[in-house]
Structure 1
């Protein structure tokens, strides 16, 4: 089963299965296709977080989140006249982590040759694919910037200075050439992959990035001009890693997430709070159920701001995830909406929020990107849930000759040394990327996730309440009316928030929305089918039956299996 945010990625994964590959071969092939077909959502210069469960082995986190470069210091950014890390431009670039992580996964758990896995992406980049409405819209939004200030991006994405129309066949021969140059050379399958990783980190890719970043000042999202600080030495120093997941339990199901260098534990904290309510109190067809979920999310996200980073001690994390702490937080939930950040440690100052109607999608901020997601499971039980992101075509100028841009994940760090997520050389940003695995009786039963930045955990909480409490099917839960809160600082520049803010799909119902307003929520309606791009795969360990579900929103998500 393959489910993802784009039909060509899901179809690629299924093609790998038809040709004898396993879930990890399929995932890597699909991921590189996502670089090509969702370039406004992710790219080779970005990052990823994945949860993997090789059949017969304990689940692991695949950490493809690169750290801050060695020259990325608070002092340097302050000397550039900045009080926040920009949301676009190479100064906000962390070390690209996605490609090394995917190649490491293929080496350690896949079975296919590198050339065969990359062949799908090379094909679509060379012969072309019909560009999606979202990608065409994203390019159109940044066309003035490309024409005036980012000429390498204009050369890559504009045809005679004109953005492509939805459905137009687009190509990226530069990226096809980059991938092709990674697969040459003699030796074994492992040799091929290790050589590609070395070339990526220390060869022509790192050299091209170093040269461009060092020599090319350009406008950033702040409107000011800067050079980046990422170097070839930073590229050479990074390798992806495997880590032990963080676990929580909700309604008898174990839930696995990445650690506090991601926002993953916030989902576990939220569910620990919600586990103290009855099923009726979590009925998401009622304002009471929605209110409880929103208020629990606010408390967990306040703790995210106050405590989370890769340096959070294990004992402190366990306290945050404990049943006793969940009880202490649950009693703070009253019948009315809170408009405060309620945590007992460092918290950022409030910044003025833009209009809520554009904020949930980043509209009005043309350099804001989004994320991709894929969930894959094979007949042997190998499972992966992965959320690749960053390196959007609109995140920073395209690197000459490579066919992709750098990511801007550093914007999730603060220029306040007192913050647990303060910028520091070598520190991983606290990423929003947050896939999920569900486990029962020692068996992985589902992999799921969604794009959406700060909303990723929130939309997954709604899905889990609907499947684990209301007993909806995965497809029913994905299609149910979605909602989230904006009552905490967002992770993306310009780091704004709306106290008491709640964003809802109209299908939630007038009576529910009106009742939420009466409870003090500042409600914004955003249409009927606007929030979330969830997908999932499931496996019944008793029967071996596999299933998958994908999101109808946006007309791109696709689930396929046989």
Structure 2
């Protein structure tokens, strides 16, 4: 069937070709990926090149001190694989230590919230095992933008402006880096990342005289050495955090040395003739799978997010899936419990909870033979400390903010498919410029992923040394008859799987093309535990784009949804690449919101 009419005038075309396609949240990353494909590299060479470019050109959204996850399949083996680039909590990151610091939540800004950085090692691992290029060739694009300069984004300048006082008064190394002449750069001004560019050159030199795989491993070893020493020396100096107090970080050389990125099997379900593959429940990936299971039991007409009934149904299904995330997901979840949460029988129980009115409760389900689910205390309000927290919900006048105006970091995304059938969807994040003070020796700062861990011993996502925080990074791979047909994803923290759900419903059920689905009006719920400091929620909250229409929005409000209108083009930054296994035809689509994301290919 088809849903309500797709946008009559697309913001850009659905790209189509047979050679290679790339889509990401920044045009320079997409173009760099395509340049690698044009020079004979495969999708993994291209993705790694684009990822390091994103470190340079989207520093307010991700950095080398952050993390990433990816789902990919190779031309030789279509089985979905997860690339795990989420580092764990340091050995000294205990609940007792944080409580002794006077904290009841992990801060949203400052090095005490740093997990072990995982992104760079994960990208190098992917390049070693599945790429074809030498490291120096892959890093050439990022090095050029770092040392030769690139035009700074308007949102980078705006972000620096929001934390200017913090930088000047407390994070002086960040002020030296981002306001070198004592002023905020102007949009379009050429800026540089010379220290990080020099470090990338060192990594390339370490690999240059060795065989390809050995050279990449040498660069990984050098990376750990440089990162560990500098992070320990600098982060342990007390500095201002998001609670308004000064704390020292706890990360050490040993923490960094002990971490290696890895591969894991994907978690998947079947939905309308397709396999949807996600990361495991140490992240939020199964939220999308649970929501699809719940919605699969409704008639197609009820799955259209552009109608009042469809939007209401989608929002309620998401609330139920997100409640289970917060009650059950974590590093050591029992596989039997996960199987229960993803089962059709359990989905039927959850589906029966969806009525005509909006729920204002958090309603996790129960599991046979297990204690009642545990949820930490929810807050509806907070008093902001200092900037650099979390990830956004609403984009207002081009600036990522939350509903109360606190500036937040965000995330990047990239998708690549090549003519041989290699395909990858990846979501890099963390280590954004406003997350913690710049480490001068490295040219970047540490991330704050530990803010997703609760200082609450019974919680399945509690803070614990050596344990991965429950990341929101959640790329998606879609297969049909065992062959990959689409890779997609979006920045957006708690909203990532929510916006991807809209796209999948519109493409797989409603008959939209990928670009039509991306351009269609978006919405999401805020009626759940926020994953980012200060961990607030809005009971019954629904954030919608105004383009959803006055009649639909009024209908949602009449059902009890507490609606926030975000503007016409405010929610979601989806991108996707596609492949038809029968014809070899490739496609790509990207988000127009913010005039930054781009898809390229031929």
* Distance in 2 between residues matched to 1:100 and 1:87, nearest whole Å: 24
State the Cα distance separating 1:555 from its structure 2 match. 0.3
Structure 2 residue corresponding to 1:319, chosen from 337, 340, 360? 340
State the Cα distance separating 1:401 from its structure 2 match. 1.8
* Distance in 1 between residues matched to 2:70 and 2:462, nearest whole Å: 24
Structure 2 residue corresponding to 1:103, chosen from 124, 137, 144? 124
* Distance in 2 between residues matched to 1:127 and 1:136, nearest whole Å: 19
1:184 is paired with a residue whose SS is helix
Aligned twin of 1:279: 300
Aligned twin of 1:372: 412
- Listed as ranges, the gaps of 5+ residues in structure 2 are 1-20, 367-372, 384-391, 395-399
Matched, 1:204 2:204: no
* Distance in 2 between residues matched to 1:329 and 1:205, nearest whole Å: 46
Aligned twin of 1:553: 593
Matched, 1:53 2:86: no
State the Cα distance separating 1:359 from its structure 2 match. 5.0
Structure 2 residue corresponding to 1:436, chosen from 476, 490, 505? 476
Q: What are the Cα deviations for residues 151-195 of structure 1, in whole angstroms up to 9, with x where unaligned?
A: 111111113221111111110101101111112242211121001
1:24 is paired with a residue whose SS is helix
* Distance in 2 between residues matched to 1:500 and 1:67, nearest whole Å: 33
Structure 2 residue corresponding to 1:255, chosen from 276, 281, 294? 276
Structure 1 residue corresponding to 2:264, chosen from 206, 221, 243? 243
Aligned twin of 1:32: 52
Matched, 1:461 2:482: no
State the Cα distance separating 1:213 from its structure 2 match. 1.4
Q: 1:389-428 residue pairs with structure 2 within 5 A?
A: 389-428=429-468
* Distance in 2 between residues matched to 1:509 and 1:250, nearest whole Å: 29
Aligned twin of 1:362: 401
- Is the 8 Å Cα contact of residues 142 and 366 (structure 1) preserved in structure 2? no
Q: 1:47-126 residue pairs with structure 2 within 5 A?
A: 47-57=67-77, 58-126=79-147
Q: What are the Cα deviations for residues 126-174 of structure 1, in whole angstroms up to 9, with x where unaligned?
A: 1111111111111111111111100111111113221111111110101
- Is the 8 Å Cα contact of residues 277 and 476 (structure 2) preserved in structure 1? yes
- Is the 8 Å Cα contact of residues 61 and 245 (structure 1) preserved in structure 2? yes
Structure 1 stretch 455-464 or stretch 278-287: which is displaced more?
Answer: 278-287
Q: 1:440-519 residue pairs with structure 2 within 5 A?
A: 440-519=480-559
Structure 1 residue corresponding to 2:326, chosen from 305, 308, 316? 305
Per the normalisation by structure 2, the TM-score is 0.91
Count of residue correspondences:
558
- Is the 8 Å Cα contact of residues 12 and 26 (structure 1) preserved in structure 2? yes
Structure 2 residue corresponding to 1:346, chosen from 374, 398, 409? 374
Structure 1 residue corresponding to 2:42, chosen from 10, 14, 22? 22
Aligned twin of 2:16: none
State the Cα distance separating 1:421 from its structure 2 match. 0.5
* Distance in 2 between residues matched to 1:515 and 1:425, nearest whole Å: 47
* Distance in 2 between residues matched to 1:352 and 1:165, nearest whole Å: 36
1:377 is paired with a residue whose SS is strand
CA RMSD of aligned residues (A): 1.1
Structure 1 stretch 186-195 or stretch 444-453: which is displaced more?
Answer: 186-195
Closer, same or farther in 2 for the Cα pair 1:359/1:559, shift >3 Å? closer
Q: What are the Cα deviations for residues 200-219 of structure 1, in whole angstroms up to 9, with x where unaligned?
A: 11x222211111112x1100
1:385 is paired with a residue whose SS is strand
Aligned twin of 2:562: 522
- Listed as ranges, the gaps of 5+ residues in structure 1 are none
* Distance in 1 between residues matched to 2:499 and 2:245, nearest whole Å: 35
State the Cα distance separating 1:198 from its structure 2 match. 0.4
2:163 is paired with a residue whose SS is helix
- Is the 8 Å Cα contact of residues 461 and 470 (structure 2) preserved in structure 1? yes
